Amino acid sequence: MIVLTETWRSTYPNAALGILAMGNVSNPQRHEALALHKESLERELRTRYAGYDRERFKIHTVLAAYQSYYKRFKKTYHVQLQLESIVFKDKTLPQAAALVEAMFMAELKHLMLTAGHDLDDVQLPVTIGVAEGHERYVRLNGQEQELKAKDMMIFDANGVISSVIYGPDKRTMIKPSTSRVLFTVYGMPGIDPSDLMVHLETIQEYVLIVSPEAKVEMLEVYQA
């Protein structure tokens, strides 16, 4: 199901890839119990990071690892910006359908970049590699995107399904009808692979709130 390319291993040694696949899930537009957990998480984040400023976030182990990667592409890690909006501006997590919201919640809790897909639309195997700069795919916003050279990407038999800089694709996006879901997390060098497993297990816990009968089909972390 998973292929790790030598290019990825050699370009990003000590990076990692986390995979969580679950079946028998549902994806309601709103789920009251999950919404309560989301409100609790927002309070937890404001308490945990009380007294932080942007400079202190810069030396946070996980954020620093992602920022180092994004800086190569003259980008800012968007998960940090979302966290700052919650902590500094009292904003709330984005409203989304349940499976996407579960992913967003875990992403903000552990600060790790995650993509979600409808597993039935993914043509296995899933491969993690490094873009040469000519690859193209259609992003969630419907726009075609050419990847940046050296950006980590994940692709299936039909093409790219996500990249670090530009996010997940439209072809395999999570839909209201999704019954099997795939979550992937990009682990940057400097992040302990065991922390990726904790992150994936948190997503699993959130999904089980919405879909108690859901079954884990795969839960693995791979190192470069």
Q: In the prediction, which pLDDT does 54 show?
A: 87
Q: In the prediction, which pLDDT does 209 show?
A: 98
User: What is the Cα–Cα distance from 15 to 80, expressed in whole angstroms?
Assistant: 19
- Average per-residue pLDDT for the chain: 97
- How confident is the model over 88-141, as pLDDT tens digits? 999 999 889 999 999 999 999 999 999 999 999 999 999 999 999 999 999 999
DSSP single-letter state for residue 121: G
- How confident is the model over 157-208, as pLDDT tens digits? 999 999 999 999 999 999 999 999 999 999 999 999 999 999 999 999 999 9
154 forms beta bridges with: 128, 162
User: What is the Cα–Cα distance from 101 to 98, expressed in whole angstroms?
Assistant: 5
Domains in the chain, ordered, with CATH? 2-29+96-223 (3.50.40.10)
Q: In the prediction, which pLDDT does 4 show?
A: 98
Phi, psi of 82 (to 5 degrees): -65, -40
Q: In the prediction, which pLDDT does 39 show?
A: 97
Q: In the prediction, which pLDDT does 107 show?
A: 97
